[in-house]
Amino acid sequence: MIRKVKGTRDILPPETRLWNEVERTALRVFEGFGYSEIRLPLLEPTELFVRTVGEGTDIVSKEMYTFADRKGRSLTLRPEGTASVARAFIENGLGQRPQPLRLSYFGPMFRYERMQRGRYRQFSQIGIEVLGAATPAADVEVIVALHTFLAELGFDNLIIVLNNLGDPEDRERFIAGLKTELTPHREELCGDCQRRWDENPLRILDCKVPRCRELVAETTPVADVVSEDARHHVAAVEDALDAVSIPVRRAPRLVRGLDYYLRTVFEVISPELGEDTVICGGGRYDRLISDLGGAAVPGVGFAIGEDRLIEVLPQSFKDRAFDERVVTVLPLGDGSVAPATALARDLVRAGATVHTEVTGRSLKAGLKWSGKMNSSVAVILGEQELAEGAALIRDLRRGEQEKAALDRVVGRVVELLRVEE
């Protein structure tokens, strides 16, 4: 038997219904906030991620699916979406459009990570980005859009945590100070942090090893060393969120695993998955587009891990997503196939979900199958009724049956389905 690639998933029905419903809700809410969908390639030049996500990050240094194509060009299966959005912004001259540009996207991302609950090698993100707005108001808007989306899904227990990374110049100063503070304990840091010390010292703050955490807890938080401008920026974001009653918790050690962030960074965590399985991550990246050779266009956005989100969906949302009105159509005998097909088509057009029996079951077996399909109503097309221009409509929930003229079947079935609600 050929098995799926490690870290990929088969998402089977009926779970796919949840995915569709989540994506529909995302499109509706984000469109409501003025975001238009952008569809980007899964394959990008490797250099795009090296220059944006950063060479010293875990993603670029050990998690990318990178390969040479037939002409020897280095390509990478995208590990995230923001870099592609920035590339597409520059390449398509999107700076010419009215600013800011509000974009949304969803789709698969690829990271060669160690497998654990909620961590896959192919996973899906839903994200939005605002390009061309440097104000705190833009940060506020994306967090309000995020909060609204999560509330639409029925979440009321998720926690938004936020930090101030300052500007790149602040970060240089912060890293120098961090190293000074940690130098006496350098030998006590784990092997990974020893490597991070030179390659990407900010990542030491993210280490999960208990001793590293203890040492980091003693150091000065990054937000304490940022410029006045950066401090005002993030304070304004926090004040505005507070004013619209969106609770946000300060996370002084939050740094995020990608190099392009500055000032506001945030994450969403759930009590069920814990702090290490983050549901959503985002932040501001005002130098990303200019670092890629574009104009000085600021940006802010986030991406939700859809796999993780689905894992903790509220029951109320699942009930809604699985709430469907199914009709089965049961043709009995040769002459019934054409009328059954026509009837199924008309029922679908009237908004029902129809399963037509096409394997030649008897009436008894057909009714049993209807039960398994969770059907509310079965339409039985027996030879005798058809000869009279009629069909039997069986209300499976109440166990009642009636005969109706063929041209009245759709109307009557729709009526019965409505009574169910």
Q: Which is nearer to ligand HAM, 255 or 378 (CB)?
A: 255
Greatest C-alpha distance within the chain: 94
- From 89, 105, 120, 266, residue interacting with ligand HAM (rule: CB under 6 A): 120
Q: 246-275: which residues touch ligand HAM (CB under 6 A)?
A: 257-258
By CB under 6 A, is residue 113 in contact with ligand HAM?
A: yes
3-state secondary structure (DSSP) of residue 297: coil
By CB under 6 A, is residue 100 in contact with ligand HAM?
A: no
Rounded Cα–Cα distance for residues 235 and 147 (Å): 19
Candidates 118-126, 144-152, 171-179, 390-398: pick the segment binding ligand HAM (CB under 6 A): 118-126
User: Residue type at 319?
Assistant: D
Q: Kindly tell me the burial class for residue 389, based on how many C-beta atoms sit within 10 Å of its own C-beta (0-12, 13-18, 19 or more).
A: exposed
Q: Which is nearer to ligand HAM, 80 or 357 (CB)?
A: 80
What φ, ψ does residue 96 adopt, rounded to 5°?
-75, -20
Q: How far is the CB of 171 from ligand HAM (least distance, A)?
A: 17
Q: How far is the CB of 14 from ligand HAM (least distance, A)?
A: 21
Q: Which is nearer to ligand HAM, 298 or 331 (CB)?
A: 298
Rounded Cα–Cα distance for residues 83 and 69 (Å): 21
Rounded Cα–Cα distance for residues 186 and 201 (Å): 12
3-state secondary structure (DSSP) of residue 258: coil
By CB under 6 A, is residue 179 in contact with ligand HAM?
A: no
- From 158, 202, 216, 278, residue interacting with ligand HAM (rule: CB under 6 A): 278
Candidates 32-40, 191-199, 280-288, 379-387: pick the segment binding ligand HAM (CB under 6 A): 280-288
- From 54, 201, 305, 366, residue interacting with ligand HAM (rule: CB under 6 A): 305
By CB under 6 A, is residue 301 in contact with ligand HAM?
A: yes
By CB under 6 A, is residue 200 in contact with ligand HAM?
A: no
The two structure tokens encoding residue 283: 């932040």
Q: Which is nearer to ligand HAM, 95 or 177 (CB)?
A: 95
By CB under 6 A, is residue 280 in contact with ligand HAM?
A: yes
Pairing of strands 280-284, 43-45: unpaired
The two structure tokens encoding residue 339: 């009328």
Rounded Cα–Cα distance for residues 67 and 75 (Å): 6
Q: 55-84: which residues touch ligand HAM (CB under 6 A)?
A: 80-82
Q: Kindly tell me the burial class for residue 88, based on how many C-beta atoms sit within 10 Å of its own C-beta (0-12, 13-18, 19 or more).
A: middle
Which residues contact ligand HAM by CB under 6 A?
80-82, 111, 113, 118-120, 123, 125, 127, 129, 257-258, 278-283, 301-303, 305, 307-308
